[in-house]
Amino acid sequence: MGEVSGDADRLKQADARSYDATASEFDVLTDRYSTAIAARMLHIADVGQGARLLDLGTGTGLLARRAAERGANVVGIDHSEGMLGRARAKSEAAGLADRTTFKAMDAEALQLEGGSFDVVASLYVLRHLPNPQAAIREMHRVLRPGGRLIAAVGARPSPLSTDGVGAATDRVMAAMGRRALSPTYLRNFLDEEDVPPSKGHAAHHGNGDVGGMLSAAGFRSLRQTWWSERYLLSPQEFWDVQAVFDSEARERLTSLPDARVAELKQRFIEEGQTLTDRGVSLVYRTGAAIYSAER
């Protein structure tokens, strides 16, 4: 048991370090690519004036700020001090400091009173945890009876859905050399450049059935909706979104000296420009299953 706990702690520490190193870039990209899904989640959860909301894995505070703008009182927790620093600064700049509090905390062992929140929200966090079931139990514990959960996890669309067919088309076109896809393209590029593999990011663990875990923790009235967006990017954007958002690529890059990363980035962008000059599309697809439930 001690060894398992130690492994989990090491994964969390490595994850925090990788986010600390990319907090500024993550902030910009999150505002660009996650604002729409954050707004959708808050709408589904019907977050309004006076609601007490916990933002689990707040990052740079995007969802927390959007909730505060709707009149909620928010506590945002994260294990990256770099992220929390950005969250506090942006909340203060937006005039929302009186409605937002940001704390360093382990999502799997919340230092918060039971039944103290009306809403618990989690945007792209659960599958980055070594033990998502423990975090879900904690989310259930800190919600008041009748309180609402809203959680988005990265997921692929149904193969027969419009998004599923579109994603399959992108993969076929990529195999034909007509498209380059995130995050596969950067991962393959790093392999070709002999960048050492990740040592086991937390996101590679705990990818079980989220709906089943929610039910097992005692959540009821469980519902699931799908959300997705597709972007065609410039070579610079294509690097940024993969180097920061993809957990595997981010950890591989943040383990390298800055000079080596700068060299790889320049080479990647040059390669991307060559692709776009040949008419190849640089594609970033983002999709999530949004779960809502009641305690």
Residue by residue, what is the 3-state secondary structure of 5-70?
HHHHHHHHHHHHHHHHHCHHHHHHHHHHHHHHHHHHHHHHCCCCCCCEEEEECCCCCHHHHHHHHC
pLDDT per residue as tens, the chain (295 positions):
555 556 667 667 766 677 777 788 999 999 999 999 999 999 999 999 999 999 999 999 999 999 999 999 999 999 999 999 999 999 999 999 999 999 999 999 999 999 999 999 999 999 889 999 999 999 999 999 999 999 999 998 888 899 999 999 999 999 999 999 999 999 999 999 999 998 755 444 444 689 999 999 999 999 999 999 999 999 999 999 999 999 899 999 999 999 999 999 999 999 999 999 999 999 999 999 999 999 9
CA distance 174 to 169: 8
Query: How far apart are the C-alpha atoms of 35 and 219, rounded to whole Å?
Result: 26
Residues 89, 97: contact at Cβ < 8 Å? no
Beta bridge partners of 78: 104
CA distance 195 to 193: 6
Phi, psi of 269 (to 5 degrees): -65, -40
Residue 6, pLDDT score = 64
Going along the chain from its start, the domains and CATH numbers come out as 2-294 (3.40.50.150)
* Burial state string for 17-39 with b = 16 or more CB within 10 A and e = fewer than 16: bbbbbbbeebbebbeebbeebbe
Burial class (CB in 10 A: 0-12, 13-18, 19+), 73: middle
Strand, coil or helix: 81: helix
CA gap 81, 63 in Å, rounded: 17
223's enclosing H/E stretch is strand 220-232
Q: What is the pLDDT of residue 5?
A: 59
Three-state DSSP class for residue 295: coil
Amino acid 194: pLDDT: 97
The pLDDT value given to residue 204: 42
- The pLDDT, as a whole number, for residue 127 is 87
Which two tokens mark 123? 């945007």
Contact 187, 247 (CB under 8 A): no
Spatial separation of the C-alpha atoms in residues 63 and 32, rounded to whole Å: 13
* Structure confidence at residue 10 (pLDDT): 67
Question: Residue type at 122?
Answer: S
Question: What is the structure's pLDDT at 202?
Answer: 47
Report the amino acid identity of residue 116: S
pTM score? 0.90
Give dist(CA 231, CA 242) in Å, integer.
13
Neighbours of 194 (CB within 10 A): 6
What gap in Å lies between CA 41 and CA 235, rounded to an integer? 30
